[in-house]
C-alpha cells in the first residue's frame, strides 16, 4: 500500500488508504495534481469516468439542466427521469427502473425487492438470497452481508441473515442453490471486480440461469462496475446470452455524477408498490441528465465497439510487454475491465506507477486492475505500454 505518512493531517475519516497524490483537474484520459504534474489515468475513478474526465457532451447537458431544474422530489413526474428509465429498459431485459444514488443502494433495493417478491407474491417466509465467494456488493449493512469477502464484513457483526454463500464458477455447488426451498434470488457479478477481476464461466452461468428459471428464483446481476459499457457491451450479462430478472448499476452511469439504478422485469417489479421503497435524491433531474447524456454519447459514438477493439489491442500489447520483461502473468477480464495477475506485487506496481505518471488500481494483493475510459485512444494505450515497461522494471527488479 502507498506510504501515507507524508500526507499532512486530514480531517477526512481514514476509511481509505490513499495514494500520496492530490488531484486537482481532469480531462479525457489525463489528470493533473496540485503541483501541475500530469498523469495518464487508467483507473477512470474506479470505472466511473467511462467517457474520460469532464466529457464536454455530458457537461453541456448538465449545464443546461442546472439552468432549468435541480430537484423537485419523486412526488412529481420528472421528464428526464422517465426518459432515462425508458432508455435503460429499451437497452436491457428489464421493464421498470428504480433510481438511487450509489451501487450499494442499488443492491440494497434489489435485496429488498427480492424479499418483498418472496414474501408477498411467492409466499416464501424467511427467504434466502444466494451470493458468491469473492463477490463485492457494497458497504451498507445489507450489501456487505451479501458480500463474499470476510475483510469487508469484519467488525460489523451482527450481519443480516438471509444470505447463503456459494463458491463462484462451481457447477457442483449449484446442487446447494435451493436445498431448503427458501432461495428467492441469486445476486452475482458477471466479472467480479473488487474480488480480483474474475469473469464468470459462460457454461456455469448458463447452468445457473437454467436452474433459476426452473425453480422460480430471481436472477439478479450486479452490474455496478460492469454496466454502462465497461466490458464492451452495455451490460456484461449480454456476453452470456442470459436474460436477468434484476440488474443493478451505478458507477459508470453518470460519468462521475452520482447515480444508481435497480432495473427489474415486470414480474419482480410488481412487488414494489407506492410506499415500498424510496429515495429523496434518487432519480434527481441533474443525475438523470448525466445518465441519459452518458448513454446517448456511448451509442452515438459507437463506444461499445471501440472499447471492445481497444481491449483486444491493449491485451495484445500488454502480453508482448510482459513477455519481453520475462514476466509470466495471466491477463483476464472483459472489455476495458482487465486484470494482470502478478502474485503479491499488485500494490508495489500501483505505487510505482505514480513515479511514471500513471494511475493504476489493484484488485486484491495479486491483481493489477486496468480501467481506462471507453474512449481511450490507440496512442494513449501505446503511451501506457511504454510507461508500463518502466513500471515493471522498477517494481519487479529493484
Ligand atoms: C463499487 C461496487 C459496488 C458499490 O458501489 P458504491 O457506489 O460504492 O456503493 C457494488 N457492487 C460492485 C460490483 C461494485 O463494483
Distance CA(228)–CA(294), nearest Å, equals: 8
Alpha helix positions (H), 216-345? 266-269, 285-300, 303-324
Clarify whether residues 105 and 152 are in a common domain: yes
Phi, psi of 375 (to 5 degrees): -100, 25
Is there a domain that residue 325 lies in? yes
Clarify whether residues 95 and 115 are in a common domain: yes
Closest ligand 1 atom to Cα of 140: 9
**Would you call 222 a catalytic residue per the annotation?**
yes
Clarify whether residues 191 and 267 are in a common domain: yes
Clarify whether residues 246 and 174 are in a common domain: yes
Is there a domain that residue 10 lies in? no
Measured between alpha carbons, how far is residue 10 from residues 5, 15, 16, 82 in Å?
Answer: 11, 12, 12, 41
Counting the structural domains of the chain, the total is 2
* CATH label of the domain that carries residue 392: 3.90.1150.10
Alpha helix positions (H), 276-398? 285-300, 303-324, 346-355, 378-397
Is there a domain that residue 18 lies in? no
**Would you call 389 a catalytic residue per the annotation?**
no
Closest ligand 1 atom to Cα of 102: 7
Calculate Rg over the CA atoms of the chain: 21
Clarify whether residues 318 and 203 are in a common domain: no
Q: What is the pLDDT of residue 8?
A: 64
Clarify whether residues 246 and 289 are in a common domain: yes
Residues 253 and 228 sit within 8 Å (Cβ to Cβ): yes
Determine which residue's CA is closest to atom 6 belonging to ligand 1: 103
Clarify whether residues 158 and 187 are in a common domain: yes
* CA 226 to ligand 1 centroid distance, Å: 10
Clarify whether residues 235 and 345 are in a common domain: no
Distance CA(335)–CA(340), nearest Å, equals: 14
Q: Identify the active-site residue in 222, 245, 334, 388.
A: 222
Max Cα-Cα span within the chain: 62
Is there a domain that residue 259 lies in? yes
Residue 278: its H or E element: none
Is there a domain that residue 273 lies in? yes
Dump the DSSP string for 132-189.
ETT----SSHHHHHH-S-HHHHTT-PSPPSSEEEE-TT-SGGGGGTTTTS-EEEEEE-
Residue that terminates a domain, selected from 265, 280, 300: 300
pTM of the model: 0.97
Is there a domain that residue 154 lies in? yes
Residue 7 grid coordinates:
500526507
Clarify whether residues 147 and 286 are in a common domain: yes
Residue 236: its H or E element: none
Is there a domain that residue 220 lies in? yes
Structural domain including 70 reads: 56-300
Ligand 1 pocket list (CB less than 6 A): 102-104, 107, 136-138, 189, 193-194, 222, 224-225, 250-251
Residue that terminates a domain, selected from 300, 318, 339: 300
Clarify whether residues 50 and 104 are in a common domain: no
Q: Identify the active-site residue in 136, 163, 235, 384.
A: 136
Q: What is the pLDDT of residue 9?
A: 85
Clarify whether residues 48 and 75 are in a common domain: no
From the first residue on, what is the mean pLDDT of each consecutive set of 10 residues in the chain (398 residues)? 61 96 98 98 98 98 98 98 98 98 98 98 97 98 98 98 98 96 98 98 98 98 98 98 98 98 98 98 98 98 98 98 95 98 96 98 97 98 98 89
Clarify whether residues 311 and 346 are in a common domain: yes
* CA 138 to ligand 1 centroid distance, Å: 5
* CA 161 to ligand 1 centroid distance, Å: 21
Residue that terminates a domain, selected from 259, 281, 300: 300
What's the angle, vertex CA 13, arms to CA 7 and CA 18, rounded to 5?
40
Closest ligand 1 atom to Cα of 251: 7
Instruction: Spell out the residues 6+ positions from residue 359 whose beta carbon is closer than 8 angstroms to its own.
Output: 19, 31, 39, 40, 41, 42, 43, 353
Q: Identify the active-site residue in 251, 265, 334, 345.
A: 251
* CA 106 to ligand 1 centroid distance, Å: 9
* CATH label of the domain that carries residue 132: 3.40.640.10
Closest ligand 1 atom to Cα of 135: 13
The pairing of strands 337-341 and 163-166 is: unpaired
Is there a domain that residue 369 lies in? yes
**Would you call 251 a catalytic residue per the annotation?**
yes
Amino acid at each position: 500500500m502507498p506510504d501515507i505518512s507524508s500526507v499532512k493531517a486530514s480531517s477526512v475519516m481514514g476509511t481509505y488508504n490513499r495514494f500520496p497524490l492530490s488531484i486537482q483537474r481532469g480531462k479525457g484520459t489525463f489528470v493533473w495534481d496540485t503541483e501541475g504534474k500530469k498523469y495518464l489515468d487508467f483507473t477512470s475513478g474506479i470505472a466511473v469516468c467511462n467517457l474520460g474526465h469532464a466529457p464536454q457532451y455530458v457537461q453541456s447537458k448538465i449545464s443546461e439542466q442546472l439552468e432549468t431544474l435541480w430537484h423537485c422530489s419523486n412526488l412529481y413526474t420528472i421528464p428526464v427521469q422517465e426518459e432515462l428509465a425508458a432508455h435503460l429498459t429499451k437497452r436491457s431485459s428489464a421493464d421498470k427502473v428504480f433510481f438511487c444514488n450509489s451501487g450499494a443502494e442499488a443492491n440494497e433495493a434489489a435485496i429488498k425487492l427480492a424479499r418483498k417478491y418472496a414474501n408477498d407474491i411467492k409466499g416464501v417466509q424467511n427467504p434466502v438470497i444466494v451470493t458468491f465467494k469473492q463477490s463485492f456488493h457494497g458497504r451498507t449493512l445489507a450489501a456487505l452481508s451479501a458480500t463474499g469477502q470476510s475483510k469487508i464484513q469484519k467488525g460489523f457483526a451482527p450481519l443480516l441473515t438471509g444470505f447463503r454463500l456459494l463458491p463462484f464458477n462451481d457447477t457442483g455447488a449449484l446442487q446447494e442453490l435451493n436445498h431448503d426451498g427458501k432461495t428467492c434470488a441469486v445476486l452475482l457479478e458477471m466479472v467480479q471486480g473488487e474480488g480480483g477481476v474474475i469473469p464468470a464461466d459462460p457454461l456455469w452461468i448458463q447452468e445457473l440461469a437454467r436452474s433459476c428459471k426452473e425453480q422460480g428464483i430471481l436472477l439478479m446481476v450486479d452490474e455496478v462496475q460492469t454496466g454502462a459499457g465497461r466490458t464492451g457491451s452495455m451490460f456484461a450479462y449480454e456476453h452470456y446470452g442470459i436474460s436477468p430478472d434484476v440488474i443493478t448499476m451505478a458507477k459508470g452511469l453518470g460519468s462521475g455524477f452520482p447515480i444508481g439504478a435497480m432495473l427489474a422485469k415486470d414480474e419482480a417489479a410488481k412487488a414494489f408498490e407506492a410506499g415500498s421503497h424510496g429515495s429523496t435524491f434518487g432519480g434527481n433531474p441533474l443525475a438523470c441528465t448525466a445518465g441519459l447524456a452518458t448513454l446517448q454519447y456511448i451509442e452515438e459514438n459507437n463506444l461499445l465497439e471501440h472499447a471492445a477493439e481497444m481491449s483486444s489491442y491493449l491485451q495484445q500489447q500488454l502480453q508482448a510487454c510482459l513477455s519481453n520483461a520475462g514476466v509470466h502473468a495471466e491477463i483476464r477480464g472483459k472489455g476495458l475491465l482487465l486484470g494482470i495477475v502478478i502474485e503479491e506485487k499488485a500494490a508495489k506496481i500501483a505505487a510505482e506507477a505514480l513515479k511514471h505518471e500513471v494511475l493504476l488500481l489493484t484488485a486484491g494483493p495479486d491483481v493489477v486492475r486496468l480501467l481506462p475510459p471507453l474512449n481511450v485512444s490507440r496512442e494513449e494505450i501505446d503511451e501506457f505500454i511504454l510507461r508500463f515497461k518502466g513500471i515493471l522494471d522498477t517494481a519487479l527488479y529493484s
